[in-house]
Structure 1
Amino acid sequence: MPRVSQDHLDARRRQILDGARACFARHGYEGATVRRLEEATGLSRGAIFHHFRDKESLFLALAEDEAHRMAEVVARHGLVQVMRDLLSTKDGEESADWLGTRLEVSRRLRTDPEFRARWAERSRELTAATRRRLINQREAGKLRADVDIDVLTSFLELVLEGLVSHLAMGLPADDLEQVLDLVEDSVRRHRRGIDAQG
C-alpha cells in the first residue's frame, strides 16, 4: 500500500476543517451531526475521525484554527481590524462561517465548563497577539500612555465580544464602522491640541 504524503494529509485536514466550519456555523454544535459533517466535508465518518478523535476534538481544532487566524490579523493590523472584517461579512463568504464558529464558541463557553477549560489555553494566543500589538504601538508613540496595556487589551476584547453578540442578534450594523472608528481613536495617542478640538 503506497504511503500517503504529508501534503495529502494536510490537504485532507484542511478540507475537513473548511467543511466543518460551514456545518457548525449553519447548524450549531449540537445540530452538526456526523451525517451533516459527512455532507459538508464530502468525506466519510471514517476519514473525518481518522484526523480528529471525535466531534469535540474537531470543533476545538476548528476554534483553535480561527483563533490563530485572528491572531495573525491582530499582529498585522490590530484587533479592531478583526472587528472590521466581521462587519464586512456577507452571507456565503468564509468570514460568515468564521462568525458562526465564533458565535458557537461563545455559546459553548457559557454552557460547557469542560470546553471553557480547554478553550482557555487556546484563547491565550489571541490575547498575547493583542497585547504584543499594543506594546509595539505604544513603543512607536501611536498608543495612549495613560492606560495600562492589560486594561486596553481587556477593553478591545470586550468590544469584540459585544460586536459578536450584536451581530448574532441580527441588530443593525449600519453605524458600527463609526463605532469602531471611535474605539480605535480611544486607544490612540493624540498630540496636544488635537484633543481640545473635539
Structure 2
Amino acid sequence: MPKVTEEHVEARRRQILDAALACFSRNGFHQTTINDICEEANLSAGAIYNYFESKDSMIAECCTHGQTEIGEVFDGAQMLGTAREAIEKLAEVFIMGIASPEEQSATRLEVQLWSETLRNPDVLQAAMGPRSQVLAGLQSIVERGQRNGDVSGVADAEYVARVLMALRDGLVLQQSMDPDTDVSRYVAAMKQVTAGAVFT
C-alpha cells in the first residue's frame, strides 16, 4: 500500500470541504445531505467519512475556513503607518471584498453560520476562534493608534473593535438580504461615522 502523504490528506479534506461549502451555500445546512456533498465532490460516502466524522464536523470546520489568511491580512495592516490607514486597509479587504460576485455565496453561508451558532455549541466554539482573532487584531490597531495619538485616548479600544466588527457584520446581513446594497457607499458612510468619534 503506498503511503498516504499529509499533503494528500489535506488536499482531499479541502476538496470535500469546498464541496460542502458549495452545497451549504446553495441549499442550507439542514437541507444538504451527505449524498449531496458526495455528488458535488465526486466521491463516495465512505471516502467522505474517512476525513470527516459527520456533516456537523464539516459545518464546524467552515467556521475556521480562511483563518490563516485573516492572520496574514492583520500582519500586513499592522505594518501601515497610522491606525486609520490600517483600518481602511482592513475595510478594503474584509468589507469591499463582500461586493465581489465570488463572495456572494460566502456571504450567504456566513449568515447561516450565525444562525447555526444558536443551536450548535460546537459550531459556536469553532466560530469564536476567527472572530476572537479579528477582534484582537482590531483592538491592537486601535491601542497602537492611541499610543501614537491618532485615535482618541478616551475611546474604549475593546469596544471600538467590537463596533468596527459589527459594521462589517451588518453589511454582511444587508448584502445577503439585498444584493444591490452599494458597498462603496456603505464604506464611505462608515468612515464618516467613525472619523469624528474615533480618530483624531
Shorter-chain TM band:
0.7 to 0.9
Letter in 2 for 1:170: D
For 1:89, the equivalent position in structure 2 comes to 100
Deviation of the 1:155 alpha carbon: 0.7
Residue-by-residue CA offset, 1:96-118 (whole Å, 9 max, x unaligned): 23212211111212344553355
For 2:192, the equivalent position in structure 1 comes to 182
For 1:40, the equivalent position in structure 2 comes to 40
Instruction: Quote the Cα distance in structure 2 between the aligned partners of 1:139 and 1:132.
Output: 11
Residue-by-residue CA offset, 1:55-75 (whole Å, 9 max, x unaligned): 111111121124554454344
Instruction: Quote the Cα distance in structure 2 between the aligned partners of 1:61 and 1:126.
Output: 17
Letter in 2 for 1:136: R
Q: Does the 8 Å contact 1:34/1:45 carry over to 2? A: yes
Note closer, same or farther for the CA distance 1:186–1:102 as it changes in structure 2 (3 Å cut): farther
Unaligned segments of structure 1, at least 5 residues? 191-198
Instruction: Quote the Cα distance in structure 2 between the aligned partners of 1:18 and 1:187.
Output: 41
Note closer, same or farther for the CA distance 1:171–1:16 as it changes in structure 2 (3 Å cut): closer
Aligned counterparts, 1:41-120, within 5 A: 41-77=41-77, 78=87, 79-81=90-92, 82-86=94-98, 88-90=99-101, 93=102, 95-112=103-120, 115-120=123-128
The size of the alignment, in residue pairs, is 186
Q: Does the 8 Å contact 1:74/1:133 carry over to 2? A: no
| Farther-moved stretch of structure 1 (22-31 vs 178-187) | 178-187
Report the TM-score when normalising by structure 2.
0.78
For 1:26, the equivalent position in structure 2 comes to 26
Unaligned segments of structure 2, at least 5 residues? 78-86
Letter in 2 for 1:83: I
Q: Does the 8 Å contact 2:19/2:37 carry over to 1? A: yes
Across the aligned residues of Structure 1 and Structure 2, the Cα RMSD in angstroms comes to 2.5
Residue-by-residue CA offset, 1:46-89 (whole Å, 9 max, x unaligned): 22221121111111112112455445434434453312211x22
Question: Alignment partner of 1:51: what SS?
Answer: coil
Report the TM-score when normalising by structure 1.
0.79
Deviation of the 1:122 alpha carbon: 5.1
For 1:145, the equivalent position in structure 2 comes to 153
